[in-house]
Amino acid sequence: MASPDDQPGDRTDPFLDAVPATSREELLSQTGEATLERLHRGEETHLRWTHTGEPPEHLLRLLPKLPVFLPGCEDLLLVGHGFTARDFDFTLADSELALSASDVLPLLAQAYELDKGFAEHAGSSVGYFDPARLYVRNQRRNGLRGLDDLRLRFYHLEDLSPDAEAYTLTRGLADWLHTIVGKRESAAGQFADNLGSLRAFLEAVRDQPADFASLAFRLKVAVASAERSNVGLVRENNEDAYMVLHSRLNGVSESASVFAVADGMGGHNAGELASSLCLELLRFYSGLWPLGRASRQRSTPTLIGEHLRTISAEILDSAATDPELVGMGTTLTGVFLTYRGWLEKSAPLVSVTSYVFNVGDSRAFVLDSERLRALTRDHSYVQQMVDSGSITEEEAYAHPQRNVILQGVGITPEIQPDVAFFRLPLESFTVICTDGLTDLVREPRLVELASEADSPDSLAEALVREALTEGGKDNISVIVLAPRLAFE
């Protein structure tokens, strides 16, 4: 479940001076001859670690290798001994509320790689585990909490020792996370068993940190789904469509799943045609997406974006052949998963990579008994006004132009789809839906319905029923995903 871009930068000239034009320096920590400072330069902040004396031999061996090894490292100092790095958001000790179950495996993997790297490059290990001296950075701070991408950061090179026990970070982090997950288990509802499996995995890693890689492949996940679509109480036709597709690519050892909804628009039956045609084209093109993981030329998000633009162009061409179809188009929102095995039954969690894609104002979000975390942002006129501060989110719900979208598949070939990596939620439902649900059912009620659900089926049924109770003014389509975790 590692992020595809979770690697330190490889600088062409690592021996650069400290960040220039620093307007203010803030001392964060001083241990003996080592200091960690925050450098303020306008609105940007960076970190600088320095050792004022002659560092011990193991640090002298490690320092030149930091730019290509240490996550977050930017440059080595030209004068003296030290490095600059990207800033963090909070210490690990202060991160409990920000962490989700889906962060556990990636954070542990990062600790394991750090332990291995320190042993390889400096013949040393971290002397002790202290969550106040480890840091967390959210690599994707764009306001969509479902897309949070938390990374572990380590700066205190003075804590390394050639005499320390191996895999201190991995062992200590597993033990610390075991406590955090245990606090949440009793309140996790239908996902309590998932957290129980996660705790069993953490216990094994704590006891055998050197075996993390093999233990990680024993943590298996299956994803159950439920789908519902209803014409509503006002419209005669259902212009919504949805698709659930599981496939296995022979010869590549990759399997894939696509879950998507489309909300068509246009006169006569054009809306129905647009949404169904869009998903049929998606069925074809999504079969090529697993190849993106093996390609050095185009990343998976790039490939998805290109194919969504192709689908838009093909729908536009179809509309040009029939005057009654001119102006037809559709929203498109979905989740794409790649993995090894069969996700409906069991796949190693470490092999799962998740992407969300969106054009228009259908939505995807992560939902549990405590909160809703958005995975997508509407391509709509009112969302643009909210983003600019012209109106509030509350005002957007009643705005007369709330259904005006700025992008739609088939409306123009030059669409700009949003495609993003995210971590598959392990203690929450993932919901993909058309605006027939979210225009009528507000976030507090959605959270309440999630707290009452014991399966994806029961939640999907409850969401559609609630939209109908609130008037059913539009077609309503939902897909609900729920993970099942096991440590084998």
Q: Classify the phi-psi angles of 415: left when phi > 0, otherwise alpha if psi is within -120 to 50, otherwise beta.
A: beta
Q: How many residues does the chain have?
A: 488
**Range of weakest confidence among 85-89, 92-96, 321-325, 433-437:** 321-325
Q: Tens of pLDDT along 413-440?
A: 789 999 999 999 999 999 999 999 999 9
Long-range CB pairs of 337-341, under 8 A, 24+ apart, other chains included: 337/223, 337/256, 337/257, 337/258, 337/424, 338/254, 338/255, 338/256, 338/289, 338/290, 338/293, 338/300, 339/254, 339/255, 339/256, 339/257, 340/253, 340/254, 340/255, 341/220, 341/255
**Mean pLDDT within 306-329:** 91
pTM: 0.91
Q: Tens of pLDDT along 265-292?
A: 986 578 999 999 999 999 999 988 887 6
Pull the structure tokens for residue 440. 């009528």
Pull the structure tokens for residue 51. 């050792």
Residue 101 CA to residue 94 CA, distance in Å, equals 16
Output b/e per residue, 224-260; b: 16+ Cβ within 10 A.
Answer: ebbbbbbbbeeeeebbbbbbebeeebeeeebbbbbbb
234 has pLDDT over 50 = yes
13 has pLDDT over 50 = no
What is the reported pLDDT for 14? Answer: 42
What is the reported pLDDT for 94? Answer: 96
**Mean pLDDT within 435-460:** 97
**Cβ neighbours of 109 (radius 10 Å):** 19
CA atoms within 13 A on the CB side of 249: 19
11 has pLDDT over 70 = no
What is the reported pLDDT for 198? Answer: 98
What is the reported pLDDT for 268? Answer: 59
79 has pLDDT over 80 = yes
**Cβ neighbours of 412 (radius 10 Å):** 14
Output b/e per residue, 299-336; b: 16+ Cβ within 10 A.
Answer: bbbebbbbbbbebbbbbbebbeeeeebeebbbbbbbbb
| Percent residues over pLDDT 90 in the chain | 75
Residue closest to 92 by CA, chosen among 195, 181, 177, 167 = 177
Top pLDDT among 4 and 257 is at 257
Residue closest to 363 by CA, chosen among 373, 355, 374, 354 = 374
Place of tokens 């050197």: 210
What is the reported pLDDT for 461? Answer: 98
**Residue 22: which pLDDT band, with cuts at 50, 70 and 90?**
low
10 has pLDDT over 60 = no
187 has pLDDT over 90 = no
Q: Tens of pLDDT along 49-76?
A: 999 989 999 999 999 999 988 999 999 9
H-assigned helices in 354-433: 381-388, 393-398
Q: Tens of pLDDT along 321-360?
A: 888 888 899 999 999 999 998 888 899 999 999 999 999 9
Kindly give, in sequence order, each residue whose CB lies less than 8 Å from that of residue 58, ignoring residues fewer than 6 positions away. Answer: 122, 123, 124, 160, 161, 162
**Range of weakest confidence among 23-27, 151-155, 305-309:** 23-27
Question: Do 415 and 409 touch, CB atoms closer than 8 A?
Answer: yes
Provide the β-strand partners of residue 259.
Answer: 244, 335
The mean pLDDT of the chain is 91
Residue ranges with strand state E in 60-120:
73-76, 81-86, 90-91
Domain boundaries, the chain: 24-216, 221-487
Domain 221-487 has CATH 3.60.40.10: yes
**Cβ neighbours of 57 (radius 10 Å):** 12
Based on the number of CB atoms within 10 Å of its own CB, is 283 exposed (0-12), middle (13-18) or buried (19 or more)? middle
Q: Tens of pLDDT along 119-172?
A: 999 999 999 999 999 999 998 877 888 999 999 999 999 999 999 999 999 999
What is the reported pLDDT for 15? Answer: 41
What is the reported pLDDT for 387? Answer: 84
The SS3 of residue 258 is strand
C-alpha separations of 109 from 3, 105, 323, 422, 459 in Å: 11, 6, 56, 16, 33
Residue 212 CA to residue 380 CA, distance in Å, equals 45
Provide the β-strand partners of residue 75.
Answer: 84
**Residue 2: which pLDDT band, with cuts at 50, 70 and 90?**
very low
What is the reported pLDDT for 342? Answer: 86
